[in-house]
Amino acid sequence: MSSSLVPVSIESIHIGQPLPFSLRDGAGTLLAHRGFVFQSREDLLLLVRRGFSLYTDVADAEAYQRAFVGKLHSLVREDKLLGQIAGAQISRDDLDASRVDLVEGPPDWLDLQTQANAILRDSSSPQFLNRIDRLQVQLRQHAQRNPDGALFALFHLSASEIHLYSATHAMLVCVMCGLAVRDVLNWPAVQEQTLCKAALTMNISMIDLQDRLAVQVEPPKPEQRQQIDQHAARSVQMLEQAGLCDRPWLEAVRDHHCVAPGPLAAKSEGQRMARLIQRADMFAARLAPRASRVPTSPAAAMQASYFDENRQVDEAGAALIKAVGIYSPGSFVRLSTNEVAAVIRRGANTTTPRVAVVINREGLPTVEPTIRDTSQREYRIVASVPHREVKVQLHLQRMLALTAAPASDRVW
């Protein structure tokens, strides 16, 4: 038995409730993923009769213990009856909430980009789904602590390089979708997490191909086009092989390129997720540089996502724009002063962000970025500026520090 596994008592597993931890056998093989629901005690006993001993990962066990202690403390503080405290059960939300302390300190986005690339390329690992869980939690925490910084980093990395394209793209779509459903659509936390994990895994069957196409000058070859056309179904197959049985997650990955327009309320849970992923995917892909094409400006990419296939306002696209802004952090704009600035923070509305001037009105790079408030008429935005036209090398960490500055910062 692996030293990273701890035994699980069959009595600790609640029938009809999502598993708060993954179940494995003594060799570490996944028996049931976190969130799986045993519908009857007989289903659970069947595993035991087949000779399986039940274990979980140390990390899952520790998270469960933290969640359980936190739940007891919460019930005590609420003066619940002793019987209620004794019968306390841990829900999936409780467990996810207990993972808030998994990430400490400011994010190293280049390192996280490398980690995501390694995780997404290793779907055959027994730890794959757990690693996706952890990656999603990390991205969510960074986006909660400093949403403008998360958007700036991912838009900057997506638009400034073509290496590790697939991993960067997946992280950007994940963060965009998370902000849209959390801040605009007010989806439950569990649905938000499922959506974001679906966004991370939508293209796991074509990670290598995506990265190759980013540097390939010629159009996709017939065999590459076939792989592109089949990648959604193939990604679902790979997720199922990894032990995933979350139907909305699988449905969102399967349909993230083909879900029809229309009100989100009329769609299934998985279809709603697929539509949000589709619009965010479209937006992020249009921004990314490719050897074979020039990227679209952020404003043009947003407009394409805002309207659906029938040229009507798309509910999912509109939610994304409200969450991210027409001029998103990490994009460049030209001001009425003829200065070129990087957007560092979203503003009171989608068209008036805070920006940092990187090229002055004489066309020269600034020594130190100057902060402007574009809601002031003298500093209003007059146009988007494509990344390829800004010949200034930004220091990512220095710019990220500006995204976290208080709203009362000095404006010159």
The reported pLDDT for the residue numbered 71 is 46
The reported pLDDT for the residue numbered 90 is 46
The reported pLDDT for the residue numbered 214 is 78
The reported pLDDT for the residue numbered 209 is 86
pLDDT in tens, 87-100: 445 444 444 444 44
Query: Can you read off the two tokens belonging to residue 386?
Result: 């494509």
Query: Can you read off the two tokens belonging to residue 73?
Result: 């403390």
Q: Give the number of other Cβ atoms within 10 Å of residue 73's Cβ.
A: 10
Q: Which one, of 132, 220, 226, 121, lies nearest residue 166 by Cα?
A: 121
The reported pLDDT for the residue numbered 387 is 82
Q: Which one, of 244, 237, 249, lies nearest residue 191 by Cα?
A: 249
Q: Which one, of 294, 309, 208, lies nearest residue 257 by Cα?
A: 309
Indicate left, alpha or beta for 56 from its phi (over 0: left) and psi (-120 to 50: alpha). beta
Q: How far is CA 324 from CA 11, 94, 315, in A?
A: 46, 28, 14
**Rounded to two decimals, what is the model's pTM?**
0.73
- The CATH fold assigned to 103-324 is Hypothetical protein af1432 (1.10.3210)
Residue pair 300/189 in contact by the 8 Å Cβ criterion: no
The reported pLDDT for the residue numbered 67 is 47
Alpha helices in 255-326 (DSSP H): 269-287, 298-306, 315-324
**Residues 228, 234: Cα–Cα separation, whole Å:** 10
Task: For the chain of 412 residues, list the mean pLDDT of each consecutive stretch of 10.
Answer: 65 74 77 76 78 69 48 46 47 46 70 92 90 92 93 88 85 96 91 94 92 81 88 94 92 90 89 94 77 64 78 90 90 94 90 93 90 93 87 88 65 37
Q: Tokens 């690693």 identify what position?
A: 131
Query: How many Å is the Cα radius of gyration of the chain?
Result: 23
Domain boundaries, the chain: 5-98, 103-324, 332-403
